Amino acid sequence: MNANLEQIKQEILAGAEELNSSKEVYEFKKKFLDGKTGKIGLLMKEMKNIPNEEKAAYGKGVNELKAWALEFLGGLDEKMKAKELQARYEAEKIDISLPAETTAEGNLHPITLVRNEIIDIFSGMGFEIYEGPEIETDYYNFTALNTPQDHPARDMQDTFYLSPEFLLRTQTSAGQIHVMEKKQPPIKILSPGKVFRSDDDATHSPMFTQMEGLVVDKGITLCDLQGMLDEFVRQIYGEGTKTRLRPSYFPFTEPSVEVDCSCFECGGKGCKLCKGTGWIEILGAGVVNNKVLENCGIDTSVYSGFAFGIGIERTAMLKYGINNIKMLFESDIKVLNQLNDK
C-alpha cells in the first residue's frame, strides 16, 4: 500500500518538472487533490476495502501524502506566480529615455494681462473692484454724470442706443453712479469693463476696455490724484516715469485733466513713440463734479473726490509697441505669442 503512496509522490515530483505556468499548476493540483476525482482523494474512498487492522496506518499515510502535496504544490504555485508577475513587469516597463511629447501651452491675452496688472497696482493702494452692467440706462451713462439730454458733450461719444432709454455703456464712469448710490464715502473703487462706441480706425475699436477709478472722501484734491497716478505709472512703465496734467473737459469732473506720462521709451528726450514730444497721453481724469456727488446724495460740504478712466487697449498698445488696435482682437496666435514673450 505504501508503495502506491510513494508512487503517487514520485508521479507528482516528476510531473511538477514539466509545469510552466500557474494555470498548469492549478490543473495539475486538481488531478491529485480534487476531493472527488483527484488521485489522493480517491485513496480515501479505498478505506472501506482496507482490512481493519491496517486502516489506521493507511489513513495516516494518505493524510501525510495529502499534506505534503498541498504544501509542495502550493509552494510551486507561489513561485510560478512570482515569475509571471516579474515577466509582466518587464513587458510593461516604461522607457523613460523617450523624448516627451511637447504640449501646447496657453497664456493670458495681453488685455487680460494689462487689466490684471492695473488691478494689482491699485489693489495695493486699497482699491476695491466693482463691475457694472454693460447695458445701461441713459441716466447712468449720461444724465447722472452731468450730461443731460442735448448736452454738447454727448457728441464726444458716438453711442449705440438699444432704445430711447437703454444703451451700450460708452464709459465705465457709469459705474461711479451705481457705487455712490449704494455706498456713502469713504469710497475707493476700481471698475474694469467693456465699453462701446461707434468708432473704428487703427487706434479705435467699437468695443474696447476701460478701467475706472473713483475715490471719494474728506479733503480729496487733485494732488491726491496726481500722487496716486505717479505711483501707477512708476509701477506699470518703470522707475523714473512721471506724470503731467493738462487741462481738459469732461462734464462729470471739474477741473478735468488729460494725464500724460514721460515717454518710457526715450525717457523724455523725444522719439517716434512720443512723436518727439517726450510725453505720452495715457488717461482722462479730474475732480468729481459736485453736481455728480449731489445726484448721488453725497454731501459736498463734507466730501470731495477724484476719478480717472484708463483705456486698457491703449495701455497694452503702448506697453507692447502695437500700432494697430485690431491686432488685439484678431487673436492671431503668432502675434499673441510674441506679445507674451515681452
| Contact mark string toward ligand PHE, 73..112, x via CB under 6 A | ----------------------------------------
The DSSP bridge partners found for residue 253 are 250, 288
Other CB atoms within a 10 A radius of the CB of residue 86 amount to 10
C-alpha cell at 221: 484734491
Residue 286 as a binder of ligand PHE (CB under 6 A): the answer is: yes
Nearer to ligand PHE, 58 or 303 (CB): 303
Strand, helix or coil at 37? coil
Residue nearest to ligand PHE (CB): 309
**Residue 96: CB minimum distance to ligand PHE, A:** 57
Is 173 an interacting residue with respect to ligand PHE (CB under 6 A)?
Answer: yes
Contact at 8 Å (CB) between 244 and 222? no
- Phi then psi for residue 196, to 5 deg, are -135, 130
Q: Which is nearer to ligand PHE, 77 or 281 (CB)?
A: 281
Q: In this chain, which stretch among 20-28, 115-123, 124-132, 301-309 interacts with ligand PHE, using CB under 6 A?
A: 301-309
Helix 222-237 × helix 312-320 angle, to 10°: 40
Helices (H), 185-271: 222-237
Interaction between residue 114 and ligand PHE (CB under 6 A): no
**In the complex, least distance from residue 222 CB atom to ligand PHE, rounded to whole angstroms:** 12
Task: Decide: is 147 part of the binding site for ligand PHE (CB under 6 A).
Answer: no
- Give the total of residues touching ligand PHE (CB under 6 A): 11
C-alpha cell at 336: 499673441
* Other CB atoms within 10 A of residue 313 CB: 22
Grid cell for residue 238: 518703470
Tell me the closest approach of the beta carbon of residue 172 to ligand PHE, in angstroms: 7
| Cβ closest to ligand PHE, residue 43 vs residue 177 | 177
Q: Which is nearer to ligand PHE, 110 or 175 (CB)?
A: 175
Considering the complex, state which of residue 172 and residue 241 has its C-beta at the smaller distance from ligand PHE: 172
Burial (Cβ within 10 Å: 0-12, 13-18, ≥19) of residue 119: middle
Least separation, in Å, of the C-beta of 305 and ligand PHE?
A: 10
| Side-chain-facing half-sphere of 13: CA atoms under 13 Å | 8
Enter the C-alpha cell of residue 246.
Answer: 493738462
| Grid cell listed for 293 | 456727488
253 near ligand PHE, judged by CB under 6 A? yes
Q: What part of residues 191-250 is at the interface with ligand PHE (CB under 6 A)?
A: 212, 250
Contact status: 309 vs ligand PHE (CB under 6 A): yes
The C-alpha torsion from 109 through 110 and 116 to 122, rounded to 10°, is -170
Q: Does 307 bind ligand PHE (CB under 6 A)?
A: yes
Is the preceding omega at residue 51 within 30 degrees of 0, hence cis?
Answer: no
For cell 475707493, what's the residue? Answer: 188
* Contact range with ligand PHE by CB under 6 A, out of 33-41, 131-139, 268-276, 303-311: 303-311
The reply on whether position 285 binds ligand PHE by CB under 6 A is yes
Give the DSSP per-residue string, 132-185: --SEEEHHHHTGGGT--TT-GGGGGS---BSSSSEEE-S-TTHHHHHHHHH-PS
Q: Is 171 in the site for ligand PHE (CB under 6 A)?
A: yes
Q: How far is the CB of 265 from ligand PHE (least distance, A)?
A: 24
Q: Which is nearer to ligand PHE, 77 or 254 (CB)?
A: 254
Q: Which of 110, 192, 193, 284 binds ligand PHE (CB under 6 A)?
A: 284
Q: List interacting residues with ligand PHE (CB under 6 A).
A: 171, 173, 212, 250, 253, 284-286, 307-309
